[in-house]
Homo-oligomer: A and B are copies of this chain.
Amino acid sequence: MTEVSRPDGETNGEQGPARRSRLTRRGFLTGSVGGLAVAGASAVLVGCDESKAAAPKPVTQVPFRGTHQAGIATPAQDRMAFAAFDVTSTRKQDLIDLLQTWTAAAEKMCAGQPIGTVGGTGEQVPADTGEATGLDAADLTITIGFGPGLFDNRFGLAARKPAALEPLPSFAREVIDPDISGGDICIQACANDPQVAFHAVRNLNRLGFGTTTMRWFQLGFGRTSSTSSSQQTPRNLLGFKDGTRNVVSEDVDAMNAHVWVNETSDQQWLSGGSYLVTRKIRMAIEAWDRDRIGDQQDVIGRTKVEGAPLTGTKEHDEPDLNAKGSDGQPVIPVDAHIRLAAPESNAGMKILRRGYSFTDGADPVTGQLDAGLFFICFQSDPRTGFIPVQRKLAADGLNEYIKHVSSGIFACPAGLADGEYWGQRLLA
Contacts and interface: CB of A to CB of B under 8 A. Distances in A.
Nearest to A239: B130
Interface in A37-52: 47-49, 51-52
A49 B313 CA distance: 40
Interface in A14-60: 14-16, 18-20, 22, 24-27, 47-49, 51-57
A306 B304 CA distance: 49
B135 A52 contact: yes
Contact of A136 (B52, B217, B313): B52
B54 A121 contact: no
Contacts of A206: 286, 289
Nearest to A128: B239
Contacts of A359: 81, 198, 217, 219
Contacts of A83: 362
* Interface size class of chain A, counting residues whose CB lies under 8 Å from the partner chain: 35 or more
Q: Across chains A and B, which 3 residue pairs bring their CB atoms closest together, nearest first?
A: A56-B56, A130-B239, A122-B294
A194 B217 contact: no
Contacts of A367: 213-215
Contacts of A219: 219, 221, 359, 361
Nearest to A218: B361
Interface in A258-311: 285-286, 289-294, 296, 303-306, 308, 310
Contacts of A179: 364
Given A125-B293, A131-B237, A235-B134, A306 B12 contact: yes
Contacts of A20: 314
A205 interface: yes
A77 B305 CA distance: 28
A25 B47 contact: yes
B19 A48 contact: no
A368 interface: yes
B48 A25 contact: yes
A302 to B, nearest CB: 10
Given A54-B195, A134-B52, A361-B217, A16 B232 contact: no
A153 interface: no
Interface string A188-213: 00001111101000100110010001
Contact of A18 (B47, B218, B314): B314
A304 B118 contact: yes
Given A52-B136, A239-B129, A194 B216 contact: no
B135 A54 contact: yes
Interface string A124-166: 1110111111111010000000000000000000000000000
